[in-house]
Amino acid sequence: MNMEEKLKELAEEIRKNMANPDIDIEVCFPGDVDEGCELKSYPYLKVKYVVEGHDVYEKEIDIDPIYFDKDVKDLANFVSFQIQQFMEEIDSVEYGGE
């Protein structure tokens, strides 16, 4: 499987795994680029997390070349973990002071 096929499969996995109405994921992979992306030298995801319908937080998750030899499922799990951590960080900021 070449890199482009692997990234395409990864994009599908991520979109499937992260079906959350508060999360918007833009896939910025060569060959599979969502509208809001600027191409960089490496593939990445742009994650937007909307809290209580109005506060929007953004994070870019890079898919570092050192991970390219990993299985697509492992990569998808890695990305899902990163997104979960990001959401938990925001939730602790948003709700931690109450």
Residues 6+ apart with CB under 8 A from 87: 22, 23, 49
Please write the tens of the pLDDT for every residue from 40-89: 888 899 999 998 878 899 999 998 888 878 899 999 999 999 999 999 99
Quick check: is 96 in a domain? no
Q: Domain range holding 27?
A: 3-91
Q: Considering the entire predicted model, what is its pTM?
A: 0.82
Number of domains in the chain: 1
The answer as to whether 97 is a domain residue is no
pLDDT value for 83: 93
- 24 found inside a domain: yes
Output 30 or 55, whichever has higher pLDDT: 55
83: nearest Cα among 28, 19, 7, 8: 19
98 belongs to a structural domain? no
